Amino acid sequence: MPSRIEDYALVGDCETAALIGRDGSVDWLCWPRFDSDACFAALLGSRDNGRWLLRPMQDAARVSRRYRPGTLILETRFETEEGAASVIDFMPVRRDHSHLVRIVRGERGRVAMRFELVLRFDYGSIVPWVTRLEARTLRAIAGPDMVLLRSAVDVRGEDFMTVAEFTVGSGETLPFTLTYAPSHLPPPAAFDAASALEHTETFWTEWCRKGRVTGPLSETVNRSLITLKALTYASTGGTVAAATTSLPEHLGGERNWDYRFCWLRDATLTLLAFMNAGYYEEAEAWREWLLRAVAGSPDQVQAMYGIGGERRLMEWIVPWLPGYEGAKPVRIGNEAHTQLQLDVYGEVVDALHHARIGRLGATRSGWELQQALLAHLETIWREPDQSIWEVRSGRQPFTYSKIMAWVAFDRAVKSAECFQLEGPIDRWRALRAQIHEDVCRNGFDRDIGSFVQSYGTRNLDATLLLIPALGFLPAEDPRVRGTIAAIERTLLVDGLVLRYDTGKTEDGLPPGEGAFLACSFWLVDAYALTGRVEEARRMFERLVGLANDVGLLSEEYDLREQRLVGNFPQAFSHLALVNSALCLSRRQSPRAPGAGEPAPAGDRAGRS
């Protein structure tokens, strides 16, 4: 049985990541990439689907844990009747091979420990062939995959597991390492775990020192930024939406999706989060990934791509995994990559507009690509689509999708005007005005005094909270205030915001899900922009309080069970947190057309 989602912490090497429970069990790890097959999949099944347990023999041990300040190094402290010991977990930033390191450190008395390694490749289905290479070194191979275990104690095979019992005394340090490599290559050389720990701590603390986050929210914001950095694939700059697949949005339900891919709609928030915190290298790497991913014919732009820019993300169901707490199906891949989602055009153009404001590096082809995207958007913006929420019930004329089409032409006009870029500006101005008039006429219901989810309906949608942040209408406009009030009446439940009412909106799935955390951060922004600052602060504090003991947020929160639900940790939630913190501190949306902080003097000016 896996742990509660909030009981997990993340370690990673900026190319993949592992989830480790408070019980000392590594229950999820995909090797060698975020989107590779999992070799530990107990998160979506049981021990037999793969895990690595390292904890005291005494089940009643008291547990506390933390990240070392400014790092992704996890320290879990176990206290027993006989003593205390800590397990230090981390993944060194990758050079050649990927490693997962676990160091057991005795702190007081003597603690009897238990070691249990269950490697199962191909999402928990393949038992590897294990051989002993030398004393305390094992090699596990199955098909293309090889994992080496180097142990500080003697281990033995038992029921297709590798197990050991040992005792650690005060002052003792016992390192255990797993290393991944392709099976056709020689086994990777041994390395010193203590040196790797020192280098890993230096990497993260030096990275954090590059940032410029200050003030009372700095610790919370920095933890979110570290999490976002950990979810960024260093080789390409793409940021995955989460490290997991198929953690349910509704416990026991089927709203279970694979989030180990890069969504274009995260583009603006990712750029702003990194740029406003001072991390221009990460912002530029994401911008470059974005330009490569969407390059090609504009009519083939997708809502999401693989971490290398891959387009074919075919969805299939894993029949042998029972799902997290029985929530089926377990999905690999994501069918939504085939959907029409009009908002992504606005997200791309908006992101690149903010990149110019931030003075990221120049590429003339980037502006040419945007003009091609805009020319295609001109032909399709009136079409129904599947929206930001990727509904599986067919296309509808979603209001937010139309608003984001407006954003695309608005930001194109502003970029051309501010940066002396050539283009059909008068045509874009006319389209901008046309779309604005269309949304205000068809997307606003005068009887309820609110914008609505889609043309011709009276359903509400949390995306409408973004209208003032995007600059579509000013915050003081009565239609904005009316929309906020209507959402408070219908979608605000126990202080948190639902995406929409799944009992009223036909989205192709059974009704029921948690409160989408990013939506609640959008209400924070809406409150701040409309002058309701104290309400915004209270809600922000409530949301921060939903993070687990090491500062991580999932996609949603189950109000009835009072548990985190959905994929974990969720980039969209942490992005929303970072940008809401900025909105609170500046009383201005970081997404506003003229917002953003330019790079320090000396950085390259951008015309992309």
User: What are phi and psi for residue 456, nearest 5 degrees?
Assistant: 85, 0
Band (pLDDT 50/70/90 cuts) for residue 268 is confident
- Does residue 604 surpass a pLDDT of 50? no
Q: How far apart are CA 233 and CA 226, in angstroms?
A: 13
Q: Let me know if the fold of 5-184 is the same as that of 225-586.
A: no
Q: Which two three-digit tokens encode residue 321?
A: 């995994």
Q: Is residue 598 pLDDT above 90, yes or no? A: no
- The pair of structure tokens assigned to 216 is 């009372």
Q: What is the mean pLDDT of residues 96-105?
A: 97
Sign of CA dihedral 442, 445, 446, 450: negative
Amino acid at 173: T
Radius of gyration of the chain (CA): 25
- Provide the pLDDT for residue 51: 98
Structure confidence at residue 213 as a pLDDT band (50, 70, 90): confident
- Percent of the chain exceeding pLDDT 70 equals 96
Classify burial at 425, counting beta carbons within 10 Å of its beta carbon; exposed 0-12, middle 13-18, buried 19 or more: middle
Among 42-46, 555-559, 602-606, the minimum mean pLDDT is found in 602-606
pLDDT number for residue 215 = 82
Residue 229's φ and ψ, nearest 5 degrees, are -60, -40
Cβ(478)–Cβ(468) below 8 Å: no
Mean pLDDT of 49-53: 98
Q: Say yes or no to pLDDT of 465 above 50.
A: yes
The pLDDT of 58-73, averaged and rounded, is: 96
Q: What is the pLDDT of residue 362?
A: 60
What is the per-residue pLDDT for 216? 85
Question: Which residues face 83 on adjacent strands?
Answer: 109
pLDDT reported for residue 272? 87
319 Cβ neighbours under 8 A, 6+ residues apart: none
What integer pLDDT is reported at residue 17 of this predicted model?
98
Q: Which class does domain 5-184 fall in?
A: mainly beta
Amino acid, single-letter form, for residue 105: R
Concatenated DSSP letters of 516-541: EHHHHHHHHHHHHHTT-HHHHHHHHH
Measured between alpha carbons, how far is residue 494 from residues 11, 488, 489, 498, 518 in Å?
32, 11, 11, 10, 16
Place of tokens 């199906």: 329
Handedness of CA 271, 273, 279, 282 (dihedral sign): negative
For 61, 194, 341, the CA distances from 390, given in Å and listed in that order, are 44, 46, 7
- Where exactly are the structural domains of the chain? 5-184, 225-586
Q: Which of 42-46, 113-117, 241-245, 580-584 has the lowest mean pLDDT?
A: 580-584
- Is the torsion defined by CA of 558, 562, 568, 571 positive or negative? positive
Quick one: residue 297, left, alpha or beta (phi over 0 = left, psi -120 to 50 = alpha)?
A: beta
Do residues 514 and 556 make contact, with C-beta atoms less than 8 angstroms apart? yes
Taking 50 as the threshold, does the pLDDT of residue 607 lie above it?
A: no
Instruction: Spell out the SS3 assignment of 473-509.
Output: CCCCCHHHHHHHHHHHHHCEECCEECCCCCCCCCCCC
For 61-65, 184-188, 462-466, 591-595, which range has the lowest pLDDT when averaged over its residues?
Answer: 591-595
Of the CATH numbers 3.40.50.2300, 1.50.10.10, 1.20.58.390, 3.30.70.20, which one belongs to the domain with range 225-586?
A: 1.50.10.10
What pLDDT is stored for residue 361 in this prediction?
66
Distances (CA, A) of 299 to 5, 294, 399, 555: 39, 10, 21, 30
Residue 25 contacts residue 52 (beta carbons within 8 Å): yes
Q: Averaged over 109-128, what is the pLDDT?
A: 97
pLDDT over 90 at 139, yes or no: yes
How far is it, in rounded angstroms, from Cα 2 to Cα 41?
10
Give percent of the chain with pLDDT exceeding 90: 86
Q: What is the per-residue pLDDT across 363-382, written as a single tens digit (0 to 9) for each?
A: 666 899 999 999 999 999 99
* Assigned token pair, 525: 């922004």
384-420 pLDDT, tens digit per residue, is 999 999 999 999 999 999 999 999 999 999 999 999 9
- Lowest mean per-residue pLDDT among 6-20, 102-116, 220-234, 256-270: 256-270
Are 495 and 542 in contact by the 8 Å Cβ rule? The answer is yes
Neighbours of 28 (CB within 10 A): 27
In this prediction, residue 592 carries a pLDDT of 67
Compute the distance between CA of residue 33 and CA of residue 13 in angstroms, rounded to an integer. Answer: 10
Say what the pLDDT of residue 201 is. 98
Determine the length of the chain: 608
Secondary structure letter of residue 449 according to DSSP:
T
Two tokens, residue 346: 């606005």
Question: 568: which residues sit within 8 A by CB, 6+ positions away?
Answer: 5, 8, 19, 242, 243, 244, 247, 552, 553, 554, 555
Any idea what the Cα angle at residue 370 is, between residues 402 and 591, rounded to 5°?
Answer: 55
Q: Can you tell me the distance from the alpha carbon of 344 to that of 340, in angstroms, rounded to the nearest whole number?
A: 9
Mean pLDDT of the chain: 94
Are the beta carbons of 93 and 13 closer than 8 angstroms?
Answer: yes
pLDDT, tens only, 278-301: 999 999 999 899 989 998 899 999
Regarding predicted confidence, which is higher, 267 or 14? 14
Written as six digits, the tokens of 316 are 């299939």
Q: How do residues 162-208 score in pLDDT, each as one tens digit?
A: 999 999 999 999 999 999 999 999 999 999 999 999 999 999 999 99
How high is the pLDDT of residue 360?
A: 82
